[in-house]
Structure 1
Amino acid sequence: MGDDLSLRIERALREQLEGGCSKGVFPGASACVGRWRDGVWIYVDVCSGLLGEGLGPVMNDAVYDLASLTKPWVATAALRLHQFGVFALDEGVASLVPEAEGLPIGDRTWEEVMSHRAGLEAWAPFYETLPHEPGSDEARAWILTELLQHWDREKVGSPVYSDLGYILAGVALERATGAPLQDLVMLEVAAPLGFDAEVFFAAARDDQGWNVRCAPTGWSDWRARDLRGEVHDDNCAALGGVAGHAGMFGSARAVARFGAAQVGALHGRMGSMAEERVRHATSKRPGGVQGLGWDGKADEGSVAGELIDADAFGHLGFTGTSIWCDPRRQLVTVLLTNRVAVSDDNAAIRRFRPAFQDAVMQAFDGSL
């Protein structure tokens, strides 16, 4: 039965990915499905298409810009530090960011910030008017000052998905520990789970050998060049390529293993993550789908499809990435694409994602 199930899942993945390539949803894609069976995680990896125009085929070890899939990693690091008493979610923003002292955002808590309920605006193009060298201390300080002004009192307590909140959280974690964000995520999340070499902030890598496996993400008007092996998000690039909202790269298997660790914790297989912390992070807050670093399934029109469990949690990335975890089925589905290589405005992924997820669920449940 196990082999039959793996074959069903593999066929469903291959059909979906080949269809997405042929319809121009993305140049290529890498997917991984993990399921818990007989005390171990079993993974099915499938890839299809090309890394990009004029490049070789996608292989299972292909590296993709994870975009906002960075946020769950940063949130997991924050929860680990909270568990150890290094970072307090119930403290106000000004406790670690004195630049916010006297500003309305200064009294909001890190819990509110990281669950997208602090009143921060969704996004702002800081890179467009950046008066300093990207990645410099001056650039980072200027962006922080500007960010703190992008706040709306009427939005406090209401869900507004915010990149700004996670940029701010990244700053806070660095200040709480005195360590660079990339080191924190590797030390607190990737290394304890055993795959610190498989996911990384690209800007923090000294070697470039992995670049030949990396899927490009198209043209950046601001940087006036095609992007490959550097972050697609221009605000993240302005911050030096490492930020709380974007900047991580990785393979589908590595992301799936990260999701599997979350699901395992919810079933009492603690590992490096406490069950109560994972439950806190993955639980939807009232009035929206966001948890702390994770999104839940929407009641209607979910991007996770119709068949995944109501308690599922996951996240999307602008570049065309996604992860969804179904704790009841003990199933993790990861889709990595570079749909932005076609165009940032390529919206075909919106229809593809739920169909892809439903196909995986049907294969798992034996109805496909």
Structure 2
Amino acid sequence: MSEGVFPSGSAAVAVGDKEPIVRATAPARLYDIASLTKVFVATVLHRLRARGSLDLDASLGRLWPDLAGLPVAAESVRALLSHRSGLPAWLPLYATAAGRDVVMAAARAPTDGPRPTYSDLGFILLGALCERISGCDLPDLLSVEVLDPLGLPSVRYGPVRPDETHPTGHCVFRDRPIVGEVNDENAAAMGGISGHAGLFARVEDVCRLGSAWLSSIEDRGGPLPADLAREATTSVEPGAHALGWDTTRPEGSSAGSLMGPRTFGHLGFTGCSLWVDPDARVSIALLTNRVHPTRDNLAIRAFRPAFHDTVMRAVLQEGLQDGSP
């Protein structure tokens, strides 16, 4: 783009139960959606909860006896989902562990009390917990619980063919350009499959996940009962994380200034986002590869709120809900 924000990007907007309207700077392809993986995995967890297979207030130690004696064993699933377990935000687990050993390395990380710290490590553990509870591996579980029921055919764990996706820069750890495999180093060390990162998707399917949650909140079907969906997307304080989702801050939110107070969403390190405004009944997805050729390009931070304000003006003033561009 001329602004130098990202080389390639796609956006999708859906109002209510209408199909997403898509705009792209390049032919439709898959994007590495980075931490947007978390909201797909959170949807799986809430589906398990809705069926009575998971108690969010159970400790990890009770659900996962192998963690006995570790600090994280005392933390609840709810604490990990809301990023209040005290786990570190990030550690270079890939430097000393690979495969399933990455999960146990995350479990051995020290906790720092029940204070809010956005943590990749918590979702590494939650992804593994999904597998333990269900007896299925994460890709199959995600397909059965979310992707197939909601009709999201593009969403998948990598690797994907290089001609299906966009490059995401050079990885120092792997000492090569990255295209078709996950950008995140810890997820790469796990074979590309984790609860915190690893998914690739087209923008319309990310937008459809937001619309599905909106349907649940409005009690119009969707993947979850309305009461659970509303709880999962409501934070205990403005700007804090809800149960697998982020919420908007009164000032300085990447969702801009025009989305409503009940808005929920999430960001992805590669330059991706999904925000849903239940009051305007709108879901807005943005997928980019802003990390190419270098992750040091932070222009996305100013672009995101401006982009969302532009979209919301169209939704609120120009009749986008009627299908106009």
What TM-score, normalized by structure 1, do the two folds share? 0.83
Deviation at 1:95, TM superposition (A): 2.2
Deviation at 1:126, TM superposition (A): 0.8
8 A contact 1:159–1:287 mirrored in 2: no
Which of 43, 61, 69 matches 2:36?
A: 69
SS at match of 1:119: coil
Please name the residue that 2:143 is paired with: 186
Q: Does 1:334 align with 2:285?
A: yes
State the Cα deviation string for residues 74-128 of structure 1 (Å, max 9, x = none). Answer: 0010010111122221111112332321222211111111110111111001112
8 A contact 1:32–1:46 mirrored in 2: yes
Aligned residue identity for 2:11: A
Please name the residue that 2:14 is paired with: 34
Hey, what's the Cα distance between the residues in 1 that align with 2:151 and 2:20? 16
Deviation at 1:360, TM superposition (A): 0.5
Q: Does 1:148 align with 2:107?
A: yes
In structure 2, relative to structure 1, the CA distance for the partners of 1:287 and 1:104 (3 Å cut) is: farther
SS at match of 1:216: coil
8 A contact 2:239–2:248 mirrored in 1: no
Deviation at 1:287, TM superposition (A): 6.8
Aligned residue identity for 1:166: F
Please name the residue that 1:302 is paired with: 253
In structure 2, relative to structure 1, the CA distance for the partners of 1:35 and 1:123 (3 Å cut) is: same
State the Cα deviation string for residues 271-307 of structure 1 (Å, max 9, x = none). Answer: 3321112112111133752011111111111111111
Q: Does 1:228 align with 2:179?
A: yes
State the Cα deviation string for residues 221-278 of structure 1 (Å, max 9, x = none). Answer: 1111111110000000001100000000000100011100011111111133211121
Please name the residue that 1:256 is paired with: 207
Deviation at 1:28, TM superposition (A): 1.3
Higher Cα Rg, which structure: 1
Which of 18, 24, 39 matches 1:47?
A: 24
Hey, what's the Cα distance between the residues in 2 that align with 1:360 and 1:275? 27
| Structure 1 unaligned regions, length at least 5 | 1-20, 49-57
Q: Does 1:173 align with 2:130?
A: yes
Q: Does 1:164 align with 2:141?
A: no
How many percent of aligned residue pairs carry the same amino acid?
41
Hey, what's the Cα distance between the residues in 2 that align with 1:259 and 1:367? 22
SS at match of 1:324: strand
Which of 29, 32, 56 matches 1:89?
A: 56
User: Comparing 82-91 with 172-181, which one deviates more in the overlay?
Assistant: 82-91
Please name the residue that 2:197 is paired with: 246
Hey, what's the Cα distance between the residues in 2 that align with 1:222 and 1:149? 22
Aligned residue identity for 2:292: A
Q: Does 1:23 align with 2:27?
A: no
Aligned residue identity for 1:277: L
Deviation at 1:194, TM superposition (A): 1.6
In structure 2, relative to structure 1, the CA distance for the partners of 1:341 and 1:199 (3 Å cut) is: same
More helix by share: 1
Please name the residue that 1:51 is paired with: none
Q: CA RMSD in A?
A: 1.6
Please name the residue that 1:13 is paired with: none
Aligned residue identity for 1:145: M
Please name the residue that 1:198 is paired with: 154
SS at match of 1:22: coil
Hey, what's the Cα distance between the residues in 2 that align with 1:71 and 1:88? 19
Please identify runs of 4+ aligned residues in structure 1 that moved more than 4 A: none
SS at match of 1:31: strand
Alignment of 1:351-366 (within 5 A): 351-366=302-317
Please name the residue that 2:295 is paired with: 344
Aligned residue identity for 1:41: K
Alignment of 1:244-323 (within 5 A): 244-286=195-237, 288-323=239-274
Deviation at 1:367, TM superposition (A): 6.9
State the Cα deviation string for residues 326-351 of structure 1 (Å, max 9, x = none). Answer: 11111111110000013111110000
Which of 58, 77, 95 matches 1:128?
A: 95
Hey, what's the Cα distance between the residues in 1 that align with 2:127 and 2:20? 31
Hey, what's the Cα distance between the residues in 1 that align with 2:305 and 2:227? 29
Alignment of 1:207-222 (within 5 A): 208=161, 211-222=162-173
8 A contact 1:31–1:46 mirrored in 2: yes
